[in-house]
Chain A
Amino acid sequence: KNQVEQSPQSLIILEGKNCTLQCNYTVSPFSNLRWYKQDTGRGPVSLTIMTFSENTKSNGRYTATLDADTKQSSLHITASQLSDSASYICVVSDRGSTLGRLYFGRGTQLTVWP
């Protein structure tokens, strides 16, 4: 069964600290993996996207890594800010259909305290 599991479910850190969020998936075949940020009451916004051949991608203070062999990805946030408080969702796409079906994780709820 194709699944995307994220950990931790929730995380609280102090402003200025770094953190790493994890994503494990069993989706096969694999096309790409995205990290989205979803603010409370808003729609998700894409942060990074990585295909099979890419093992790291940065977007400002966000750095995503991908190990396609172990089917793991991580999102590292550097020097956290209050505005980083949000849910971070890992999304994996297969290439088995013309739609490129997406499998969503439940997200990690990050809270940054001052």
Chain B
Amino acid sequence: EADIYQTPRYLVIGTGKKITLECSQTMGHDKMYWYQQDPGMELHLIHYSYGVNSTEKGDLSSESTVSRIRTEHFPLTLESARPSHTSQYLCASSESKGRTDTQYFGPGTRLTVL
């Protein structure tokens, strides 16, 4: 069982609200990731981090921002939520092990923007 946590698990909010999705891991992993997943579709990488104070945008353009001030914490923020942001957001972490570092996923946050 992976020690990676996400809160909240479910969130329903109105358009224009600012939200922060929390992700934390207790495995000491240096790499962390945020993915967006719509039903029946593949995961899309929206942000990643190699370590503290390192963040990069992923393949899918996203209006969200992330920060990595502590190794174990990688929050994602939406300054002004819109209905198009409705999706499942998955956080993951991995330890650098050359070619076979496995990503461990959190349970996800299902976001609905009305």
* Contact assessment for B48 and A43 in the assembled complex, using a CB-CB cutoff below 8 Å: no
Number of interface residues of B (CB under 8 A): 25
- Rounded to whole angstroms, the CA-CA distance of A45 and B99 in the bound complex is 18
- Bound together, the chains give a CA A22 to CA B100 distance in angstroms of 21
Interchain CB contact under 8 A, B43 and A49: no
Is B110's beta carbon under 8 Å from chain A? yes
Q: Is A46 a contact partner of B102 (Cβ separation < 8 A)?
A: yes
B45 at the interface (CB under 8 A from A): yes
Query: Separation in Å of the B69 CB from the closest CB of chain A?
Result: 21
The interface size of chain A toward B, counting residues with CB under 8 Å, comes to: 23
Do the beta carbons of B100 and A49 come within 8 Å of each other? yes
Inter-chain contact B99/A31, CB cutoff 8 Å: yes
**A104 and B110 contacting across the interface, CB-CB below 8 Å:** no
A83 CB to closest chain B CB, in angstroms? 15
- State which residues 81-114 of A face B: CB under 8 Å: 89, 93, 95, 99-100, 102, 104-107, 109
Q: Nearest residue in A to B59 (C-beta to C-beta)?
A: A101
Distance of A79 Cα from B2 Cα, bound (Å)? 26
Closest to A36 in B: B105
Residue B100 contacts which of A4, A32, A42, A104 (CB distance < 8 angstroms)? A32
Quick one: given A42-B108, A106-B41, are A99 and B48 in contact (CB under 8 Å)? yes
**15 pairs of residues in contact across A and B, judged by CB atoms under 8 Å:** A41-B107, A43-B4, A43-B90, A43-B106, A44-B90, A46-B103, A46-B104, A49-B100, A95-B99, A99-B48, A100-B99, A104-B42, A104-B43, A105-B42, A107-B42
Residues of B participating in the A interface, judged by any CB pair closer than 8 Å:
2, 4, 31, 40-45, 48, 50, 90-92, 99-108, 110
